[in-house]
Amino acid sequence: MGTLSIQLESVNESPRRFHLESDSDWWEQAREVLCESDVGLCAPFALELSGYRVGARLLFRGEALGAVDLRCGRCGESYTHEFREPIELLLEPSRSQSDAPKPGIELDAEDLSLGVYNGDELNFEPVLRDILALAWPMQPRCVQGCRGLCPVCGTNRNRTGCSCDVSEGSRPLAKLGRLLEESKRRGR
Ligand SMILES: [Zn+2]
Ligand SMILES: [Zn+2]
């Protein structure tokens, strides 16, 4: 089973590497939060970090990695979407005076590179989830410049060409279709 936690005492003044791997339970929860409950995992999400402390401040730098099964918004084919997101994180000890501040890490709502920590265990679960929410593609594409489906015959144009006439004049509804697509895009 993977874990996304680091013991505070293992972060020293000299930088060291941390490999944190999420387990399937984490993904089950994260995909609910992301409203992507039908998306399957291809490679578990992990954090490759280098971390050290300066006084009570903790600095982490590295990447979030993982891959999921997505469906291309143009051609409708499913494909593996790989994530490789850079991370830079500065954590300060929480100054919260409330009776029982929540243990773990809480990211700044405005700036995901800042956060506070509490207690002696650094749980990166919310960090990974926030990074993923930000990096999640609004318009999934199987490849950059996916050619989509032919509007006339429905052929997947990434695989085979067709000889349909797709010029504006031959398709009275082409302009309407494009307008619809644009307004959909703007609506997101
Ligand atoms: Zn595609
Ligand atoms: Zn065609």
pLDDT tens, per residue, the chain with 188 residues:
468 999 999 999 999 999 999 988 899 999 998 888 899 999 999 999 999 999 999 999 999 999 999 999 999 999 999 999 999 999 999 887 665 667 789 888 888 899 999 988 999 998 999 999 999 999 999 999 999 999 999 999 999 988 998 776 555 566 667 777 777 777 65
103 within a domain of the structure (yes/no) = yes
Q: CA–CA separation, 64 vs 68, rounded Å?
A: 13
Residue 33 lies in a domain: yes
Q: What is the rounded CA–CA span in Å between residue 150 and residue 170?
A: 13
CA–CA gap between residue 124 and residue 14 (Å, rounded)? 20
- Mark whether 46 and 92 lie in a shared domain: yes
> In this structure, which ligand is nearest to the CA of 171?
2
Residues 179 and 88 reside in one and the same domain: no
Residues 73 and 14 in one domain: yes
CA of 157 to the centre of ligand 2 (A): 8
Q: How far is the CA of 167 from the centre of ligand 2 (A)?
A: 12
Structure-token pair, residue 60:
């982490």
Whole-prediction pTM value? 0.79
Domain match, 84 and 125 both: yes
Residue 94's domain spans which residues?
Answer: 5-135
Question: What does the longest C-alpha to C-alpha distance in the chain come to?
Answer: 71
Count how many domains the chain has: 2
Distance 74 CA to ligand 2 centre (A): 15
